[in-house]
Amino acid sequence: MADIGHAKINLALHVRARGGDGYHAIETIFAFARDGDGLAVAPADDLSLAIDGPYAALLAAEPVETNLVMRAARALRGAFGVSAGAAIRLDKRLPVASGIGGGSADAAAALRALARLWALPADDARIMAIAAELGADVPACVASRTAWADGRGDRLVAMAGAEALAGMPLLLVNPGVACPTGPVFRGWDGVDRGPLERGDPLRAALAGLNDLEAPARALVPEIGEAIGLIAGMPGVVLARMSGSGATCFALFAEAADRDAAAGRLMAARPGWWCLATALI
């Protein structure tokens, strides 16, 4: 049984306030890419996780038990009293700690795939409760649908018109430089730019911005370079950073323009990670 940990994109992200708990209150518009990490589950007596793929080496230093996939599996077993195990394989294709929620997407894919394997009710509220405990972005990743969110990004509101975005050509670009989330939030200028619209998602995204982009660009100048490059490509509708970076994205009206932009980008920056995909 296979699933995909769809790459998460923050089409816009407004930081509204610093919370007393060390976290910031945000509003964001989540969208998801068709592609991402691969996750497969097979029946087994025990729980196990094997990781391969282009970015597996980055996770090799961390104990497998702390991987969000294993944490999701153990939490699901505990909540539903499942005694069966599962042999889980993760094909790690998304860059790690890069603002596109790879770990959250993997945890969400594990919850979906294991719920099917163990014949658990997919719409049971306990699954979303586990997701929220695993991370702020995980409930959005379980749904993997364009949505508005506030709180820490864990309170989701469906957006009318989200279906119209499905299939929209998308290019993801990562300059390969680490951009740590904590320091990026600490670099926020403290200016509340108001709420994000909740109507049409593309209109709302274009009317908003990513408040974390400026502090991330200050920490990692390659982010500004990436946005400058993709924003200058023919046919771009929106070019911006996702989450706390360093991955940047561009939306296009036409797939041919996305593909031409991917080709030009890979020629200009052969060492960067680049994925031509589409919204779901």
Ligand X SMILES: Nc1ncnc2c1ncn2[C@@H]1O[C@H](COP(=O)(O)OP(=O)(O)O)[C@@H](O)[C@H]1O
**Contact positions toward ligand SUD, by CB under 6 A?**
10, 13, 22-24, 26, 28, 99, 101, 135-137, 152-153, 181-182, 185, 243-244
Output the DSSP codes for 135-163: -TTHHHHHHTS-EEEETTTTEEEE-TTGG
Cβ atoms of 159 and 29 within 8 Å: the answer is: yes
Residue 67 site contact among ligand X, ligand SUD, none (CB < 5 to 8 Å, cut-off depends on kind): ligand X
Residue 174 site contact among ligand SUD, ligand X, none (CB < 5 to 8 Å, cut-off depends on kind): none
Helices 68-80, 125-134: axis angle to 10 degrees equals: 150
Residue 277 site contact among ligand X, ligand SUD, none (CB < 5 to 8 Å, cut-off depends on kind): none
DSSP-derived secondary structure letter, 279: B
255 makes contact with ligand X (CB under 6 A): no
- Closer to ligand SUD at the Cβ: 114 or 246? 246
67 makes contact with ligand X (CB under 6 A): yes
**Sign of the Cα pseudo-torsion (219, 223, 225, 231, in order):** negative
Tracing tokens 């119209």 back to the chain, one arrives at 164
- Closer to ligand X at the Cβ: 227 or 233? 227
Distance CA 203, CA 205 (A): 5
**Binder among 97, 209, 237, 260 for ligand X (CB under 6 A):** 97
Residue 68 site contact among ligand X, ligand SUD, none (CB < 5 to 8 Å, cut-off depends on kind): ligand X
Q: In sequence order, what are the residues at sequence separation of 6 or more whose Cβ sits closer than 8 angstroms to the Cβ of residue 132?
A: 138, 139, 154
Smallest separation, CB 255 to ligand X (Å): 26
Distance CA 133, CA 145 (A): 20
**Binder among 36, 102, 139, 201 for ligand X (CB under 6 A):** 102
Q: Say whether 98 counts as a known binding-site residue.
A: yes
Element (H, E) at 267: helix 255-268
The residues annotated with a catalytic role in the active site are 8, 137
Q: Say whether 103 counts as a known binding-site residue.
A: yes
Annotated binding site for ATP: 95-105
The residues binding ligand X (CB under 6 A) are 59, 62, 67-69, 96-104, 106, 181, 243
